[in-house]
């Protein structure tokens, strides 16, 4: 696993449980940690092996964020083990929260936007097409008569 794979996996696993600010704080911490280990002469493979699975780290971080600091009690939350995230999913950051958009929905929305833009473009072209045809016809007649006279 590479540094980029680790950080992307950690982002995916944290995104559904923590807000955007917390996710970025954890990612910044692990980025700095990995970079410091690399500066000390360790290889990327050694650092990644020492860190372990990003899913387990995310679970631990999520449980730590779930601790109730006001009453001093630990609020236990069960996190279902979900399947591996789909690499086609897209993550949208909105109002400090991270939303996961399935790949098929993202593709559908993208097609809808492209369709709307093309509809507007062709509508505008169709408004001006008669004028363009008249101008084109006049230019062609002018050239024809200019050559023959």
- Whether 22 and 91 share a structural domain: yes
Tell whether 15 and 59 lie within a shared domain: yes
Model confidence at 113, pLDDT cuts 50, 70, 90, reads very high
Based on the domain organization, do 89 and 121 belong to the same domain?
A: no
Q: Does 117 lie in the same domain as 95?
A: no
Whether residue 114 is predicted with pLDDT greater than 80 in this model: the reply is yes
* Number of folded domains that form the chain: 2
In the prediction, which pLDDT does 111 show?
Answer: 95
Residue 39 sits in the same domain as residue 67? yes
Question: Which pTM was predicted?
Answer: 0.45
Same domain, 61 and 17: yes
Is residue 95 domain-shared with residue 120, that is, in the same domain? no
Cα–Cα distance measured from residue 90 to residue 88, given in angstroms and rounded to the nearest whole number: 6
Name 18's Cβ contacts closer than 8 Å, sequence gap at least 6.
26, 61, 62, 65
The whole-number pLDDT of residue 118 equals 95
Q: What is the mean pLDDT of the chain?
A: 82
Q: What is the pLDDT of residue 85?
A: 62
* Domain extent at residue 82: 3-100
Kindly report, residue by residue over 65-107, the tens digit of the pLDDT: 764 434 444 444 444 444 556 777 777 777 777 778 888 888 8
pLDDT tens digit string along 127-141? 998 998 999 999 999
Q: Are residues 51 and 66 in the same domain?
A: yes
Mean pLDDT of 44-53: 89
Question: Are both 13 and 73 inside the same structural domain?
Answer: yes
Please check whether residues 76 and 55 belong to one and the same domain. yes
Q: In this structure, which long-range contacts are made by residues 56-62, counting pairs with CB atoms below 8 Å and at least 24 apart in sequence?
A: 57/10, 57/13, 57/30, 58/10, 58/13, 58/14, 58/17, 59/13, 61/14, 61/18, 61/26, 62/14, 62/17, 62/18
Q: Are strands 97-101 and 90-94 parallel, antiparallel or unpaired?
A: antiparallel
């Amino acid at each position: 696993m590479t540094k980029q794979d680790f950080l992307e996996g950690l982002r995916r696993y944290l995104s559904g449980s923590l807000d955007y600010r917390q996710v970025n704080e954890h990612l910044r911490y692990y980025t700095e940690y990995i970079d410091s280990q690399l500066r000390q002469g360790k290889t990327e493979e050694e650092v990644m092996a020492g860190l372990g699975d990003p899913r387990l780290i995310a679970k631990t971080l999520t449980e730590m964020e779930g601790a109730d600091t006001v009453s001093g009690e630990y609020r236990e939350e069960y996190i279902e083990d979900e399947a591996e995230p789909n690499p086609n999913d897209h993550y949208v950051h909105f109002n400090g929260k991270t939303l996961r958009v399935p790949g098929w929905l993202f593709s559908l929305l993208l097609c809808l936007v492209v369709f709307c833009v093309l509809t507007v473009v062709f509508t505008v072209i169709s408004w001006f097409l008669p004028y363009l045809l008249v101008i084109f016809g006049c230019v062609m007649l002018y050239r024809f008569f200019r050559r023959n006279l």
